[in-house]
Structure 1
Amino acid sequence: MSIGLPHIRALAQRLLWALVAIHVCSLAINVAHHGFGVGRGEHLTTWLATFFNVDEQQNLPAWFSASVLLLAAWLLWETATAAAAAGQRRYVRHWRILSLVFVAVSIDDMTDAHRILRTGAVATLGNASSWLLVIAPLVLVFAAAYVPFALHLPTRTRWLVAGSAAAYVLGVTAVETVGALTGRNLLAHLPGQTLTGTDYVRYLLAASVEELIQGIAVITFVYAVGSCLNRYRDLAAEPQAGQPVRTGAFATVTVLPPRP
């Protein structure tokens, strides 16, 4: 099934503007509501503060984040298909596995399933959440397995993918790692706890930084994969007489017309 999308650069720009708008709404409404007490106790204001809150589930920011992750998963799957059609079959499985990983991350982003580890006592590091120590080794092993795949990508795409991956990991871990090193857990708002006033505003600011970094990283990844998808589609359409054809890491060769 082919889905029509805007040019990948325009799509990435629109996603970035939507991300910024969501975070501005989240901070403005929640700082007014929790920090200054505007509409406290009123159903509509409380609903708005929850609906636009970037750290809540089953609301606008969660749906947006999960949708962008699913978009990345779809682009990865389409890239695998386009790579196979272009004769670049060596890393088709890698593209598809990445697609499935992004589907799983999207589900986790929507349900916040990793909080099961955050609230558990699997391991502790200062004041940090235990889930980091469980996930980090798996991420390192997965990254090491994908080094050859990354090296086969064009240089610009490789740096975009590597940069977005590093930024996403930074967004996931930075705030909690700072909490471990300083002894002050900024993300101390766990299920069953209630924060109000300036305590909640401080928490929301930390959570917003975390979510914003992750959002920018995923959109950058979408742009990188979308650009790669377009390259493979162009490559698949090029093998015609007298037209240039790229092989390998998009190196250029020429197909000559058959002799009469």
Structure 2
Amino acid sequence: MKFQIPLTPGSVTQLLLRVVACLVVLSFLSQMTMYFLPDYPSRDYLAKAFNIDYERNIPTFYSFLALLFSSLLLGVIAYAKNLDSGRYKHRWKILSFIFLYLSLDEIGQLHEKLIDPMRNLLNATGFLYFTWIVPMGFLVAIFLVSYSKFLLHLPVSTRNLFVAATALYIGGAIGLEMLGGYIVYTIGPGNLSYVIITTIEESLEMLGIVVFIHALISYIKTYLGGVSWNIYIPGKNTQVTEHQNTGLPALSEPANTNLLR
């Protein structure tokens, strides 16, 4: 028996938005219990398990999976472009590796290892208190400049979604991180202002990835024939239990007057 599960932009986006909404609400409510409710069994454990600003917990694992999924989708596009000798095939490959690194960074918090050395080097205070944003901001600027032609090459709908996803993710990861650093430097981390800022920050990052995934699946569906998974329930003579069908019958993009060649 065979089941096909198509990955459509609408269904995937709705699922991810529900997951993000649940994680944000649970995180915020668990943090509020620390300030406004008396102690109860497992209060501290639940607060740490659902805090979207903490490491190695449920929200972190979700973000790791979302970034890894983005990397896989980018890999599918890169594979199709490579078969078709697409003009920007290497840019898609690089994007796939970047998101693979971001997923590993999310689960391992690699960027936070830069904070203390950079803080001592720059004697950072105020908005630059979380000093990892300095080298990362520099790398982001280089990336945006180097990918400007690639961005203009994309269909208008994909381009707009990429821009929106970037604005949400960078706005949270760097913009609100600076504000959070200022609050920690001036007041300290144990206050409601910091909880609110970090909740908004992490929410923007997760929403940015949802928008990006929506853009990638929409691009695959429109220009590469779609992507789906075929699941088989094995019978007596069946050897294969599951395989992925990337469904890429049309590797070349159709003529599009909105593309800049």
TM range (shorter): 0.7 to 0.9
Higher RCO by CA contacts (8 Å cutoff, separation 6 or greater) = 2
Q: Distance in 1 between matches of 2:125 and 2:45?
A: 36
Task: Evaluate the alpha carbon distance shift between residue 118 and residue 238 of structure 1 in structure 2; reply closer, same or farther with a 3 A threshold.
Answer: closer
Cα shift at 1:176: 3.6
Tell me, in whole angstroms, the C-alpha distance in 1 between the residues paired with 2:30 and 2:91. 42
Distance in 1 between the 2:62 and 2:185 partners?
24
C-alpha RMSD over aligned residues: 2.7
Shift of 1:4: 4.4
Question: Which sections of structure 2, spanning at least 5 residues, go unmatched?
Answer: 227-247
Shift of 1:202: 2.7
**1:250: Cα distance to partner?**
7.9
Q: Does structure 1 conserve the Cα–Cα contact (< 8 Å) formed by 2:8 and 2:221?
A: no
Q: Distance in 1 between matches of 2:253 and 2:100?
A: 31
Contact 1:79–1:232 under 8 Å retained in 2: no
1:209 is matched by which residue type in structure 2?
Answer: I
Deviation string 1:170-205 (CA, Å, 9 cap, x unpaired) is 11122243467xxxx22459xxx8x55xx2x33221
Contact kept? 2:66, 2:209, Cα under 8 Å: yes
Q: Decide which of 28, 51, 54 is 2:52's aligned counterpart.
A: 54
Counting only pairs closer than 5 Å after superposition, residues 21-100 of structure 1 correspond to structure 2 as 21-32=22-33, 34-39=34-39, 42=41, 44-85=42-83, 87=84, 89-100=86-97
Q: 2:137 aligns to what SS in structure 1?
A: helix
Give 2:100's aligned residue.
103
| TM-aligned CA deviation for residue 82 of structure 1 | 2.4
Q: Which has the larger radius of gyration?
A: 1
Instruction: Tell me, in whole angstroms, the C-alpha distance in 2 between the residues paired with 1:68 and 1:130.
Output: 25
Deviation at 1:117, TM superposition (A): 2.0
Q: Aligned-pair distance for 1:142?
A: 1.4
1:60 Cα deviation from its structure 2 partner: 0.7
CA distance in 2, matches of 1:83, 1:179: 41
Structure 1 partner of 2:134: 133
1:237 aligns with 2:249: yes
What's the offset of the Cα at 1:116? 1.9
SS of corresponding position for 1:186: helix
Letter in 2 for 1:68: A
Question: Offset at 1:247?
Answer: 3.9
For the residue of structure 2 that corresponds to 1:234, the secondary structure is coil
Q: TM-score, normalised by structure 2?
A: 0.79
Pick closer, same or farther for the CA change 1:37–1:91 going to 2, 3 Å. Answer: same
Q: Structure 1 runs of 4+ off > 6 angstroms?
A: none
CA distance in 1, matches of 2:81, 2:13: 22
Q: Structure 1 152/209 Cα, relative in aligned 2: closer, same or farther at 3 Å?
A: same
Alignment coverage as a number of residue pairs: 230
Taking the TM superposition and a 5 Å limit, the aligned residue runs for 1:86-235 are 87=84, 89-120=86-117, 121=119, 122-123=121-122, 124=124, 126-128=126-128, 129-178=130-179, 185-188=182-185, 196=190, 199=191, 201-234=192-225
Distance in 2 between residues matched to 1:114 and 1:104, nearest whole Å: 11
Percent sequence identity over aligned pairs: 25
